[in-house]
Amino acid sequence: MIPTLLGVLTLLMAAFTLLPLTRIRHWSVRIMDFPRLQLAALWAMLLIADLAVPQLAFGLRVALAVIAVAGLVYQAHWIMPYTRLFPCESAHTKQHDRQRQVRLLTANVLTSNHDSDKLLAIVEREQPDVLVTLESDDWWQQRLDVLEADSEQYGYTHTLKCPLDNLYGMHVYSRLPLHDASIDYLVEEDVPSMHAQLELASGDRVRVHFLHPAPPSPTENDESSERDAELIIVARSVADSQQPVIVTGDLNDVAWSRTTRLFRKLSGLLDPRVGRGMFNTFHANIPLLRWPLDHLFHSEHFSVVRVARMEAFGSDHFPLLTELALTPAQDTGETLDAPEPDADDQAEASETANDENVSQQDVPKPGR
């Protein structure tokens, strides 16, 4: 009985591990990209069981243990970059000119959450230059507009507002000027994105893109095509930018998925979490099921001052605070170059974009 159970569990775990290797876009497959940390823990537990259960024949014990080790190593391969055991991809700096610095707070508020005071308290304490909210509707806009109205206390006089009640509302409140700003619907007609040039106190301008594509799920899109296409065309759009670039938002994808890695390859942008930590922002209410859904990527023009996950404020997401300096990096250790796409990556990206009939030309290029 026990040997059979361990064998069945091993087969199931192998299926969960191998399915994301395919290019099947159905949500039931793509969801397996998310719990790699949890799957690694389950492989470790299965390995212990394989070695500890006395009823197993020697040959079966070895076979199951080898499979468990392989599964554990494979999952660790994906999540290890998001630990301090891995070199940083973005350089760290301690010396920086505050005039050439930007602090961004990204927060998926959860439309049904009405604890706006807790988010405002985080804003008042952390003093971000830019606040980006996702899932913000008219109710949230009414509460957050104090940031714009009370210029003496807050000073967020530059805004982009798109209140929606479909879970894809989006707002940007900025102390720094926004130029050439637009609200666009890149792939789906009810899923907005925001694009602008952000002017730092120094006068330097940064190209910024705020995204929140819909996920593959039983209640949203059956496949990941729409999400993947939006990420691909934005990645290709910023790849040849001579300006500093920041892309941030709730991408409804985990940091270690094939699709996020494809985004990094195509865009050439850096992930400040690599070598620093996972910064799991979802799910705020279920500690055992957490993964990094909220992201910020930046061009090599920046070095990192600080990355931090803020405390819960009633949403199912934690806010993510990222502070960047537009200065030559004061490197405190080894850093990595951004991954580069190969021919297969380019072919996959083109196929996905073509399936949704979109291209990088659909993405606004603020400042051009």
| Average pLDDT, rounded, for the chain | 93
Nearest-Å Rg of the Cα atoms of the chain is 22
Provide the 8-state DSSP code for 82. Answer: G
Enter the CATH code of domain 98-362: 3.60.10.10
- Which of the four pLDDT bands, split at 50, 70 and 90, describes residue 143? very high
Helix (H) or strand (E) holding 18, with range, is helix 2-18
Gap between the terminal Cα atoms of the chain: 67
Q: Are 33 and 254 in contact (CB under 8 A)?
A: yes
Q: pLDDT, tens digit, for every residue of 17-33?
A: 999 888 899 999 999 99
52: tokens are 């500890």
Q: Which one is predicted more confidently, 151 or 86?
A: 86
The CB density around residue 350, as the number of other CB atoms within 10 Å, is 13
Which SS3 state, helix, strand or coil, does residue 172 take? strand
- Which of the four pLDDT bands, split at 50, 70 and 90, describes residue 164? very high
**Strand extents, DSSP E, 175-230:** 178-184, 193-199, 205-211
- Give the mean model confidence (pLDDT) for residues 261-282: 96
pLDDT of residue 328: 60
pLDDT of residue 60: 86
- Which of the four pLDDT bands, split at 50, 70 and 90, describes residue 52? confident
The CB density around residue 14, as the number of other CB atoms within 10 Å, is 16
Long-range contacts of 160-168 (CB under 8 A, 24+ apart): 160/194, 160/196, 160/210, 162/192, 162/194, 163/136, 163/137, 163/138, 164/137, 164/190, 164/192, 165/111, 165/137, 165/138, 166/190, 167/111, 167/135, 168/134, 168/135, 168/192, 168/212, 168/214
- Which of the four pLDDT bands, split at 50, 70 and 90, describes residue 5? confident
* Burial of 149 from C-beta contacts in 10 A (0-12 / 13-18 / 19+): exposed
- Which of the four pLDDT bands, split at 50, 70 and 90, describes residue 290? very high
Q: pLDDT, tens digit, for every residue of 309-333?
A: 999 999 999 999 999 999 765 444 5
